Amino acid sequence: MSKQQFQTEVSQLLQLIVHSLYSHPEIFLRELVSNSSDALDKLRHLSLTDEHLKSLVGSSIAPPRIDLVLDEAAKILTLSDTGIGMNEEDLIAHLGTIARSGTKNFLSQLSGDAKKDSNLIGQFGVGFYSVFMVSDKVEVFSRKAGEEKTFKWTSDGKTGFEIAEVTGDEARATAGTTVLIHLNEEGAQYANSWRLQEIVKKYSDHIAFPIFLTYDKSEWNAEKKESDKTRVTEQVNAASAMWQRSKSELSDEDYKEFYKSITGDYEDPLFWFHTRAEGTLEYTTLFYIPAKAPLDLYQAEYKGGIKLYVKRVFIMDDSRELLPQYLRFVRGIIDSEDLPLNVSREILQQNKVLNSIKTASVKKILSELKHIAANDKDKYALFIAEYNRPLKEGVYGDFANRDTLLELVRFKSTKVDGLTSLAEAKERMQSDQKALYYITGGAESMLRNSPLLEIYKKKGIEVLILDDDIDEIVFSSVPKYGEVDLKAVNKSNASDDLKDESTPEQAEELKPLLEKIKAALGDAVKDVRASTRLADSPSVIVSDEDEPSARMRQMMQAMGQKGMPELQPTLEINPDHEIVKKLLAHSDDAKVADAAWLLFDQALLLEGVPLKDPATFVQRLNRVLNQSI
């Protein structure tokens, strides 16, 4: 027997769970049944495709089923399945550690508010560990398919666990797992057959395998004029593939409870899309949008939540080939009539049948989202609050559906409160406006106060505020929305169509000052020129159309991008600003040089770019202050 400590994150989770952060402890049964269903799915697939396991069917591999056995007097509930089972290594991996990096992210977001934190736990889905809400001791007996040894895992859910090989009466005769739950005071309410049946009906009626309950049933004995207890075993679920039933047969509650059974989420989904295709290809899809984005959605190792079935036989549930990466938040199932049962992950990528299903599924999901956006703005706003960023990833990566995705994403704006669409912004364009404008490169507050917006505010032109860190990467690849140009205001040519023509005399008058500033700044700038976009500020930096902005350059360097050339923006100065007018009349080249550097440095600071030499900046600033006082 070996004794082991729980991984740190597991111990923290167990403490939270034991203190009843789940609002409904009954979900422990949903979680255990869901685990058993997954184990049965995996074994059914392997027993059809693996020759060795196929030969064991009927001997050490039993027909698929889940059994609940209640000992009401002893307050012990046993859950058994005939699924794939676990060996010692699996028990440690699955019941002693949490490999998902999202766990730490999840724990870092806990606030200490039990009600708020219970929502986070429901979002994260802690599965097996929920059993410790209702028990003071759990024993797990498991035998892996194709192996002969049975191992026993035991824990009180506090500090650690023990694992030992078992023989004799404790050993399982067939592959699968048995969970022995010693119910505590909180769990005593579940030592009740009627209560167990109610929970199975509520959460697990659509599990595709039969669930049996064995319990002592009371029956009235007329002769004795008292109740006799008879040990009975009854099937307590429908055991049908729910997604194969007609939509007209299913209620909203059916869809919601099936979602909870396959995801472990206790919140209702935002919406779902159920499709059956017949013809050249036959398949069924049932897709759900969770109410909350998974906490590890942006982790590199995040796995999607689509289960692939072939003729109701489970194949896999974590392949990135089932939907594009930007739709990784979608949960549900794809059930094909045309794929082979032995399809592998490697084959999936090139499989024409799956590619056709995937293409059609993406169009269906986006079409449904577009319909909701048009007909239920409040519900769509809830969706956008969670999933606007993944849609933007799609704008960048899914060229075939880019037009639809551009209709779906939402933006902050200088014209309206909340979020707006490109279509709505287009409707608000002025009659002589030549493009839709946007600004990227930092936090919303910084962007809204950027000097780059001054000419647009002056002329009453709307600018979209793109403050997501991926926005510049995404929208620099999108030149148009329909027939309308999309222009970034921090690019050098964005304000060309807003120019107020200056007289030749004005341009000639400013030329010597521009040359002096350019000479003072040297290679720090690509060019210095008069600005047509400034109204109140004296200076601003801009990038050429094909160059990353200063902010984007910072991000790329922070991500380890090597070989980035030095920042060399164009400095624009405002010919109507009082500082610039005074510089025009100044003959002291040293003072002009100090002013030039200060104009440049303050423009960098407004863009969120740290100065290379703050000490020199301070010295120069003090020098100018001293001269002006």
Tens digit of pLDDT for each residue in 354-380? 899 999 999 999 999 999 999 999 999
* Percent of the chain scoring above 70 in pLDDT: 86
Topology given in CATH for the domain delimited by 410-498: Rossmann fold (3.40.50)
Instruction: Identify the band that residue 150 occupies on the pLDDT scale cut at 50, 70 and 90.
Output: very high
6: burial class by Cβ within 10 Å (0-12, 13-18, 19+)?
Answer: buried
What's the pLDDT score for residue 49? 85
Token reading at 257: 């409870």
Instruction: State yes or no: pLDDT of 115 exceeds 50.
Output: no
Task: List pLDDT tens digits, range 218-235.
Answer: 887 777 777 788 999 999
What's the pLDDT score for residue 248? 92
Instruction: State yes or no: pLDDT of 331 exceeds 90.
Output: yes
Q: Domain 2-235: give its CATH code.
A: 3.30.565.10
Query: Which of 13-27, 284-298, 542-556 is predicted with the least confidence, judged by mean pLDDT?
Result: 13-27
Instruction: State yes or no: pLDDT of 498 exceeds 80.
Output: no
Angstrom distance (rounded) from CA 189 to CA 77: 11
Instruction: State yes or no: pLDDT of 339 exceeds 90.
Output: no
The backbone region for 112, taken as left when phi is positive above 0, alpha when psi lies in -120 to 50, beta otherwise, is left
Instruction: Identify the band that residue 287 occupies on the pLDDT scale cut at 50, 70 and 90.
Output: very high
Same fold, 2-235 and 410-498: no
Instruction: State yes or no: pLDDT of 325 exceeds 70.
Output: yes
Is pTM, for the whole model, over 0.75?
Answer: no
Angstrom distance (rounded) from CA 230 to CA 115: 42
Q: Domain 242-375: give its CATH code.
A: 3.30.230.80
User: CB under 8 Å to 275, separation ≥6 — which residues?
Assistant: 284, 285, 286, 361, 364
Instruction: Identify the band that residue 18 occupies on the pLDDT scale cut at 50, 70 and 90.
Output: low
Angstrom distance (rounded) from CA 56 to CA 146: 7
* Average pLDDT, rounded, for the chain: 85
Topology given in CATH for the domain delimited by 504-559+566-628: Four Helix Bundle (Hemerythrin (Met), subunit A) (1.20.120)
Residue extents of the structural domains in the chain: 2-235, 242-375, 410-498, 504-559+566-628
Instruction: Identify the band that residue 103 occupies on the pLDDT scale cut at 50, 70 and 90.
Output: low
What's the pLDDT score for residue 228? 81
Instruction: State yes or no: pLDDT of 345 exceeds 80.
Output: no
Instruction: State yes or no: pLDDT of 348 exceeds 90.
Output: no
Alpha-carbon distances of 94 from 41, 85, 98, 100, 154, rounded to whole Å: 17, 11, 7, 11, 13
Across 179-189, average pLDDT:
94
Place of tokens 């109140």: 536
Handedness of CA 316, 319, 324, 325 (dihedral sign): positive
Instruction: State yes or no: pLDDT of 501 exceeds 60.
Output: no
Across 529-535, average pLDDT:
86
Instruction: State yes or no: pLDDT of 547 exceeds 80.
Output: no
Task: List pLDDT tens digits, range 372-405.
Answer: 999 999 999 999 999 999 999 999 999 999 999 9
What's the pLDDT score for residue 118? 47
Q: Where are the beta strands (DSSP E) in 60-134?
A: 66-71, 76-81
Instruction: State yes or no: pLDDT of 96 exceeds 90.
Output: no
